[in-house]
Amino acid sequence: MILQALFRYYERKCADPDPARRLPRFGFEDKPIPFVLELAADGRLIDITDTRDGPAKKKVAKSFCVPMGVKKTSGVAANLLWDTAEYVLGLDTKDKPERVAQQHAAFVARLHALPAEAQADAGMAAVLAFLAADPLAAVEAHAFAAEIRESNPVVTFRLAGDSDLVCERPAVATAALAGEPDAEAGEAPGICLVTGGTVAPERLHSAIKGVWGAQTSGANIVSFNLDAFRSHGKEQGANAPVSPRAAFAYTTALNHLLARDSRQRMQVGDASTVFWAESAAAAEAEDAFAAVFGEATDDPDARTGRIRAVLGSVQSGGYARDGGGDRFYVLGLAPNAARIAIRFWHVATVDEVGVRIGEWFRDLAIARGPGDAEFPSLFRLLSAVAVLGKADNIPPRLGGDVMRAVLSGGEFPVTWLNAAVQRCRAEQRVTYLRAAAIKACLNRAIRSHSREKEFSPVLDLSITDRAYRLGRLFATLEKIQEEASPGLNATIRERYYGAASSTPATVFTTLLRLKNHHIAKLDSRGRAANFEKLVGEIVGALDPLTGFPAHLALPEQGRFALGYYHQRQAFFTKADKPAESPAAVDDAPADIAAA
């Protein structure tokens, strides 16, 4: 299913009318090439074009569509019409003249092996003439000679006056494809698992590059390198037969999606995640998905505006109107030694993805400060529950589990709630991102298992849940202490939050006694009276028979954190009209709930 979807995406991108976005056809690849040798028709070197651009120490070469490179090991193997200066020019950079001679001879031999029609092409004739003379001496006379000798760069050819490379000229490109074998010699024909055709399978598939944490040289999704993975005496790719064209298509498409500059990839925990729509009509959904779940690196405000537009479109029913019924794919990949593991794979229609996006942000919505992002990215949410806030400390499977829950509409993993609660306790601080994660986890669990009222984004005075009330009480006691002793370096939160959220009975009686001392220090008697009313309103909803519970389970600790966060936000948020609740405090900002 995954390979078939990637194959269809490759076919769609091959038909893209924009050459800049079109993927290379079978037998070719996009290759960064720093230098292009410009040749006259008689083979003379006219100029060397430097295709690199950018800062001096970070120049990036332009990519060209060239014949697929060969897999190089320790032996000599030349590419067709492009390669390093050692192969193309016979440049000895490692003091190994005999090996360089073999490399250059192999490069020339590949050109002479092409059909007569290709060799008669004007561009090919110029290349052969150039190589028949002294190519190294011709390059040595150029200004780039020293740089080429020092870096041994990849080079190729272009006929003067042409816009395409010699390898892209029609006669040469056709000959290059005709000379490519369909599969390894000796492989018995089989049914391709991607196309359904009968063909000899590709023995070794091209490497997939760009997966975070995998080998820099690339890794494979389809691979059989041990006897335990083989069946019925079959070798390598014959165990999962995929035709050479299908193998080229899916690897090219996946490498394109995983490219460093791709807008269709993001990092979700340890999973390098790519996404794409089935048809060009629904391609706009790809940009929307990137805006929703990706990280804003350039303009956060533009990302916020884009998400608002997406959510408005989802609500109005106009989201991806033309391709709403088309399928949308999300694939998460994680490193696994020389292989790539599938962390998650989700298929849904574009319309279904739009609905899930709306649910995601509704679950996350919570009162926030002026400096908090309205629509936090998934990366920030995961980093907020990691030790020290570092991406490297995000639990390995957490990102994939959260993304799967987002796309399916199911419960969020308990590990996310646990991580958020643990970080709140460890750091004695309930942040905006952690509170949003806790609220999302609790509301999804409520929808799945009970008819209980879901938590709202702001303080809800009607909630009688004991853990939520205890969180509100702790926030109120902290606020009283802050106003009684302005400028404190540390409050009861730094000392008591962990115990109050897990074993309330051990600390709340002490905190209530301290409260009396703090209220007595307040200058305003009206303010002190209203604080007493607020404490009484919160404590009055607790069960008088059981008192403060001895222990709060994990979900209750999440409710405690949410109650604490909501009450703190209420203290510092102004209402649009005077509060009618006893929770209001004279001369202080009113509760959010009163707005």
- Tens-place pLDDT, residues 142-187: 989 999 999 999 999 999 999 899 999 999 988 887 654 444 445 6
- Nearest Cα to 259, choosing from 13, 564, 435, 520? 13
Strands 154-159 and 35-39: parallel
One-letter identity of residue 279: S
At residue 178, the pLDDT reads 66
Spatial distance between the Cα atoms of 310 and 353, rounded to a whole number of angstroms? 11
- Give me the number of domains the chain comprises: 4
The CA-based dihedral angle spanning residues 189, 191, 193, 197, taken in that order and rounded to the nearest 10 degrees: 100
CA distance 179 to 342: 35
- From first to last of the 595 residues of the chain, give the pLDDT tens digit: 899 999 999 999 888 888 778 888 888 888 999 999 999 999 999 999 999 998 877 888 998 989 988 877 778 899 999 999 999 999 998 889 999 999 999 999 999 999 999 999 999 999 999 999 999 999 998 989 999 999 999 999 999 999 899 999 999 988 887 654 444 445 678 888 888 888 888 878 888 888 988 888 788 888 776 666 667 667 666 778 888 889 899 999 999 999 988 889 988 888 899 999 888 877 888 888 888 887 766 566 777 787 887 778 766 666 555 556 889 999 999 888 778 989 889 999 888 888 898 899 999 999 998 888 888 888 899 999 999 888 888 888 898 899 999 999 999 999 999 999 999 999 999 999 999 999 999 999 999 888 888 999 999 998 888 999 999 999 999 999 998 888 888 899 999 999 999 999 999 989 988 998 888 888 888 888 988 999 988 888 776 666 788 999 999 999 999 999 999 999 987 654 443 433 333 333 333 233 2
Which one-letter amino acid corresponds to residue 63? Answer: S
Of 255, 191, 202, the closest CA to residue 224 belongs to: 202
Within-domain flag for 256: no
Task: Report pTM.
Answer: 0.75
Q: How far apart are CA 419 and CA 422, in angstroms?
A: 5
Q: How far apart are CA 153 and CA 188, in angstroms?
A: 39
Decide: 541 and 429 in contact? Cβ < 8 Å. Answer: no
Which of 383, 415, 449 lies at the terminal end of a domain, its last residue? 449
Grouping H, G, I as helix, E, B as strand and the rest as coil, residue 53 is strand
DSSP 181: -
pLDDT at 294: 78
Using alpha carbons, select from 444, 302, 450, 438 the residue that is nearest to residue 359.
Answer: 444
Q: Which of 250, 281, 300 lies at the terminal end of a domain, its last residue?
A: 250
Q: Is the same domain home to 486 and 399? A: no
In the numeric block, the tokens 């533009």 are attached to 302
User: Which 3 state secondary structure label does DSSP give 237?
Assistant: helix
Inside any domain, residue 455 = no
Residue that has been written with the tokens 């899916």 in this structure? 250
Q: Tell whether 340 and 355 lie within a shared domain.
A: yes
Round to whole Å and give the CA distance between 217 and 236: 19
**Is the residue at 382 inside a domain?**
yes
Determine the residue type at 285: A
pLDDT for 132 = 94
Residues 340 and 402 in one domain: yes
Question: What stretch of H or E contains 570?
Answer: helix 554-571
My answer on whether 470 and 322 are in the same domain is no
- Domain annotation covers residue 586: yes
Residue 472 located in a structural domain: yes
Regarding whether 9 and 60 lie in a shared domain, the answer is: no
Whether 164 maps to a domain, the answer reads: yes
CA dihedral of residues 363, 276, 324, 292 (deg, nearest 10)? 30
Rg from Cα positions in the chain? 32
Task: Kindly state whether residues 276 and 322 are assigned to the same domain.
Answer: yes
Contact 48, 38 (CB under 8 A): yes
Please indicate, yes or no, whether residues 479 and 445 belong to a single structural domain of this protein.
no
- On whether residue 458 sits in a domain, the answer given is no
- Residues 293 and 431 occupy one common structural domain: yes
* pLDDT for position 290: 85
Q: CA–CA separation, 61 vs 51, rounded Å? A: 5
Q: What is the pLDDT of residue 282?
A: 79
Residues 241, 303 within the same domain: no
* Whole-number pLDDT of residue 449: 86
**What letter represents residue 138's amino acid?**
A
Say whether both 143 and 52 belong to one domain.
Answer: yes
Residues 292 and 432 in one domain: yes
pLDDT value at residue 422: 95
In a domain, 255, yes or no: no
Domain hosting residue 203, numbered range: 2-15+182-250
Contacts of 559 by beta carbon, 8 Å cutoff, 6+ apart = 442, 465, 467, 468, 471
**Burial per residue of 411-448, b for 16 or more beta-carbon CB atoms within 10 angstroms, e otherwise:** bbbeebbbbbbbbbbebbebbbbbbbbbbbbbbbbbbe
Instruction: Look at residue 299 in the predicted model and tell me its pLDDT.
Output: 64
Q: What are phi and psi of 37, to 5 degrees?
A: -85, 115
As a whole number, the mean pLDDT across the chain is 85
Within 8 A by CB and 6+ apart from 70, the residues are 77, 78, 79
> Do 494 and 427 lie in a common domain?
no
Question: Please, what is the end-to-end C-alpha distance for the chain in angstroms?
Answer: 51
Tokens of 337: 């030694």
CA 75 to chain centre: 37
